[in-house]
């Protein structure tokens, strides 16, 4: 096996690991068969397809940011605030993981992946801010679905409470409002 190919396989094995890292919030809430980090990023990427054309945001960039933003979790896992790891330490671990992961592919691709991750992490563009809103929206949509699937209405209120007032973009704010109204009036939806 050539060196490049074995690195590519290692890269893809790490990406595959994202299918097995379960999202910590659902595990702690005792959700049956909780989704993986890959599941979460895939639906965020699809949500990014729906970006309002009038927003002026670069849709392809939003899709790429969604696909990359949690990639470090293939190595460090899904660290939750309740894990007692400081924000700085979490950032350091994830930065090191991204440095390693992006070194496994051709250098220009590796640079692109690393810079997209950093752009999201630093929230340094309008696209990154939009994708952060999608991150939270995807989570509460998932919470709503689990409430339905487990037949326990409003049992995941903490996820809604933790994102309240934190959305920044008009489009996602409207989605949140609509979701909350469907959740409050399930019969009329």
Residues at the site binding Zn ion, with contacts judged by CB under 5 A: 70, 135
Separation between Cα atoms, residue 114 and residue 91, nearest integer Å: 13
Smallest distance from Zn ion to CB 78, Å: 9
Cα 57 to Cα 126, 128, 159: the distances in Å are 7, 10, 27
Around Cβ 87, how many Cβ atoms within 10 Å?
Answer: 9
The least CB distance from residue 70 to Zn ion, in Å, is: 4
User: Taking the complex as a whole, how short is the minimal distance between the CB of residue 171 and Zn ion, in angstroms?
Assistant: 18
Distance in Å, CB of 40 to Zn ion, minimum: 6
- Between CA 112 and CA 110 the distance in angstroms is 5
**Closest CB to Zn ion among 70 and 94?**
70
Q: Closer CB to Zn ion, residue 4 or residue 131?
A: 131
Residues 150/31, Cβ–Cβ less than 8 Å: yes
Q: Which is nearer to Zn ion, 133 or 147 (CB)?
A: 133
The 10 Å Cβ neighbour count of residue 135 is 20
Nearer Cβ to Zn ion (7/93): 93
Locate 152 and state its tokens. 């326990």
Residues 6+ apart with CB under 8 A from 187: none
**DSSP strands (E only) in the chain:** none
> Judged by CB, which is closer to Zn ion: 18, or 104?
18
For the bound state, the minimum distance from the C-beta of residue 135 to Zn ion, rounded and expressed in Å, comes to: 4
CA distance 105 to 179: 40
């Amino acid at each position: 096996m050539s060196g490049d190919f074995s690195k590519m396989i290692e890269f893809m094995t790490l990406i595959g690991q994202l299918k097995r890292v379960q999202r910590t919030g659902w595990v702690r809430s005792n959700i049956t068969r909780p989704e993986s980090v890959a599941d979460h990023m895939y639906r965020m990427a699809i949500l990014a397809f729906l970006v309002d054309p009038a927003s002026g945001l670069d849709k392809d960039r939003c899709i790429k940011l969604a696909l990359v933003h949690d990639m470090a979790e293939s190595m460090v896992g899904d660290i939750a605030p309740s894990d007692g790891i400081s924000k700085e330490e979490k950032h350091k671990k994830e930065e090191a993981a991204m440095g390693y992961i992006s070194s496994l592919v051709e250098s220009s691709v590796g640079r692109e992946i690393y810079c997209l991750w950093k752009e999201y992490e630093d929230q340094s563009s309008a696209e990154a801010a939009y994708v952060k809103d999608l991150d939270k929206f995807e989570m509460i949509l998932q919470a709503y679905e689990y409430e339905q699937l487990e037949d326990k209405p409003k049992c995941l209120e903490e996820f809604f409470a933790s994102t309240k007032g934190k959305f920044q973009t008009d489009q996602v704010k409207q989605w949140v409002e609509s979701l909350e109204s469907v959740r409050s009036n399930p019969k009329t939806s």
